[in-house]
Structure 1
Amino acid sequence: MRLVIATYNIQYALGQDGRYDIARIADAVAEADIILFQEVTQNWTRNDGEDQVAELAARLNRHVVFGSTFDSDASAVVDGKVVNRRRTFGNMIASRWPILSSRTQLLPKHALPETMDVQRCVVEGICQTPAGPIRAYSVHLSHISAGQRLPQVEVLMRFIREAQTDALPADGPFPQAWDGDAVEVPLPASVILGGDFNCTADSREIALVCGEMDPHRGRLRRADQLVDTFVAAGHDPLVASTFYTRETAYKIDHLVATPDLAGSVVRSWIGDSKASDHYPVFVELDWAGVTV
Structure 2
Amino acid sequence: MKLLSWNIQRGHGLRDTCSIARVVADLRHMADFDVLCLQEVSSGYTDLPGADGGNQFMQLARLLHGYTPLAGVATDTQGEGDARLLFGNMIFSRFPVVQVLRHALPWPADAAVMSMQRGAIEATLDTARGLLRVSTAHLEYFSLVQRAAQVERLRELHRDACLHAAATRPGDSDNGPFCAVPRAMPALLTGDFNFLPGSAEYLRLQDPYEDGVPAMRDAWRVRHPALTHAPTVCLHDERTVPFTSDFIFASADLAPRVRELRVMPGNFGPDHQPLLIELD
Q: 2:153 aligns with which of 148, 152, 155?
A: 155
Aligned to 1:15: 13
Specify the code of the residue in structure 1 equivalent to 2:36: I
1:142 Cα shift? 0.8
What residue number does 2:86 align with?
88
Q: Determine the structure 2 residue equivalent to 1:200.
A: 196
In structure 2, the partner of 1:109 is 107
Do 1:98 and 1:127's aligned partners in 2 also have CA atoms closer than 8 Å? Answer: yes
| Identity between Structure 1 and Structure 2 (%) | 29
Structure 2: unaligned runs, 5 residues or longer? none
CA deviation map 1:247-288 (0-9, x unaligned): 6341110001112332112221111242312111111111xx
**How far is the alpha carbon of 1:85 from its aligned partner?**
4.3
Counterpart code for 2:103: Q
| 1:147-186 aligned within 5 A | 147-166=145-164, 172-174=170-172, 176=174, 178=176, 185-186=181-182
How has the CA–CA distance of structure 1 residues 92 and 183 changed in structure 2, closer, same or farther, with 3 Å as cutoff?
A: farther
Asked if structure 2 preserves the Cα contact closer than 8 Å seen for 1:230 and 1:283, the reply is no
Aligned-residue Cα RMSD (Å) equals: 2.6
Letter in 2 for 1:224: P
**Deviation by residue 1:28-64 (Cα, 9 ceiling, x = unmatched):** 3332211111111123345323221222222222112
Separation (CA, whole Å) in 2 of partners of 1:283 and 1:245: 20
- Residue from 228, 232, 241 that aligns with 2:218: 228
Q: Would you say 1:261 and 2:279 are equivalent positions? A: no
Matched, 1:274 2:268: yes
Alpha-carbon shift at residue 86 of structure 1 (Å): 2.5
Secondary structure, in 3 states, of the residue corresponding to 1:157? Answer: helix
Which is bigger in relative contact order (C-alpha 8 A, separation at least 6)? Answer: 1
Residue 48, structure 1, aligned to residue 67, structure 2? no
Q: CA deviation at 1:135?
A: 0.5
Q: Residues 172 and 180 of structure 2 are in contact (CA less than 8 Å); yes or no, is this contact kept in structure 1?
A: no
Does structure 1 retain, via aligned residues, the 8 Å contact 2:6–2:191? yes
Counterpart-to-counterpart distance in 2, 1:56 and 1:191: 24
Q: TM-score, normalised by structure 2?
A: 0.84
State the secondary structure of the residue aligned to 1:152: helix
- Code of the residue aligned with 1:274 in structure 2: it is F
Residues 52, 226 of structure 1: alpha-carbon distance in 2 compared, 3 angstrom cutoff: same
* 1:27–1:233 Cα change, 3 Å: farther
> Alignment partner of 1:260: what SS?
coil
* Aligned positions, number: 263
Question: What amino acid is aligned across from residue 203 of structure 2 in structure 1?
Answer: A
Secondary structure of 2:253 counterpart: helix
Q: Answer yes or no: is the 8 Å Cα contact 1:240–1:249 preserved in 2.
A: no
Secondary structure at 2:53's aligned position in 1? Answer: coil
Greater shift, 244-253 or 268-277, is seen at 244-253
